[in-house]
Structure 1
Amino acid sequence: MPLTFTLDPSVDPALRDGLLDLWADVTNAGGAVGFVPPVTADAIRPELVRHLAAMSEGRMRLLVGRDEEGAVAATGFFAFNTHRLMTHWVWLYTVMVHPKHQGKGYGRDLLAAAAEAAVGFEGIEAIRLTCRGGLGLERFYASCGYKEVGRVPGAIRVGPGDDRDDITMLLPLTRLA
């Protein structure tokens, strides 16, 4: 059964806790979403609070995918640029699909829903995201229409002696409008 996506859902304790659990579960399964395992929801909470504060200030928007049981199963946060020369594109951060749902096409569904949402954002012409090298994520994003536009070798230090490339991907929205 496909996920149901909602842009800008009302943030209540259940959604907040669902986001924290998703983020921890994805990280602990090896997902590259800003932390390294093992991690707890409590360790992630300050970062989520920053995201939620940015949402309340209009600097971010949230896309949530829920499974058939209503549980938070996928997310992406849109971050708007404040630099006057870069307001025509948006960042997509913290792109996650719960490990129990991976392999079902939900990642593609999430990225398609993100592109559909961004097409509706006034003045936005493209989505940029970054991903951690060494996991094949750039191939996945490329298969969803993103193009690699930059790479910084060794920019992400996952652990001692484990540096990964920081890869920037771009999806032009002009062809989707």
Structure 2
Amino acid sequence: MSELEFISGPHRVDDPHPDLPQALADLLGRATVAGGATGFTATTELDTITAAARRIVDDLSQRPKPRHVLTAGQERTLAGAVVLRPGKLPVQRHRGEIEWLLVDPELQGQGLEQQLLDAAAVQARALGLTQLSLSTRSGQGLEDFYADRGWVERGRWPGSLHVSENDHRDQVWFTLDL
């Protein structure tokens, strides 16, 4: 029996629960420490990660929403989340960016990543978006993960991400037509 059978979601977050900022920070921290491509390093201070999560959740109360969050939970723990940011400028309003795709490291590879991406695509279509973009870092097999799901690599910046003192990775951009 898969652990995913006990996961609720993905759910669109319209009215954030007061515990969501901390739950998102905890998930972001777990993914970061496990080596996830979160934009943070394993040595990033917890206060910095918590502040980033709080900014994401605070955006959910603005109208129009500058970001949309979809979550999946397991008991009282956030198992996964995806953050979608629609384009702001008039020439970008047809597209959105997946800012974060986060899955608890213990649940990775069981399909939750795909469920969250699918939910983000549904939400993007509901917002009238026709394209999605995201960026990730090389060296983790993520290029194949996204390519296998129809995302098209549009470019890379060699060595632009400094994961640690001696670990420099490419930043890789992908798009998906909806």
TM-score, normalised via structure 2 length: 0.88
Task: Tell me the equivalent position of 1:107.
Answer: 113
- Asked whether the equivalents of residues 3 and 106 of structure 1 are also in contact (C-alpha less than 8 Å), the reply is no
Aligned length: 171
Return the offset for 1:94: 1.4
Residue segments in structure 2 that go unaligned for 5+ positions in a row: none
1:13 aligns with 2:32: no
Q: Tell me how far apart the structure 1 counterparts of residues 20 and 51 of structure 2 sit (CA, whole Å).
A: 16
- 70 and 4 in structure 1: CA distance in 2 versus 1, 3 angstrom threshold: farther
1:162 aligns with 2:167: yes
Return the offset for 1:49: 2.6
Task: Tell me the equivalent position of 2:47.
Answer: 42
Task: Tell me the equivalent position of 1:140.
Answer: 145
Return the offset for 1:70: 4.7
1:66 aligns with 2:76: no
Q: Tell me how far apart the structure 2 counterparts of residues 103 and 161 of structure 1 sit (CA, whole Å).
A: 28
Match of 1:116 among 117, 122, 127: 122
Same amino acid, percent of matched pairs: 30
Deviations, residues 3-53 of structure 1 (Å, cap 9, x unaligned): 411112422332222111100011111111011114454230121233233
**Residue type matched to 2:115 in 1?**
D
- Asked whether the equivalents of residues 30 and 104 of structure 2 are also in contact (C-alpha less than 8 Å), the reply is yes
Q: Tell me how far apart the structure 2 counterparts of residues 80 and 109 of structure 1 sit (CA, whole Å).
A: 20
- Asked whether the equivalents of residues 21 and 41 of structure 1 are also in contact (C-alpha less than 8 Å), the reply is no
- Asked whether the equivalents of residues 65 and 75 of structure 1 are also in contact (C-alpha less than 8 Å), the reply is yes
Greater shift in the superposed pair: 22-31 or 33-42:
33-42
- Asked whether the equivalents of residues 21 and 54 of structure 2 are also in contact (C-alpha less than 8 Å), the reply is no
TM-score, normalised via structure 1 length: 0.88
Residue segments in structure 1 that go unaligned for 5+ positions in a row: none
Return the offset for 1:141: 1.0
Q: Tell me how far apart the structure 2 counterparts of residues 72 and 54 of structure 1 sit (CA, whole Å).
A: 19
- Asked whether the equivalents of residues 154 and 165 of structure 1 are also in contact (C-alpha less than 8 Å), the reply is yes
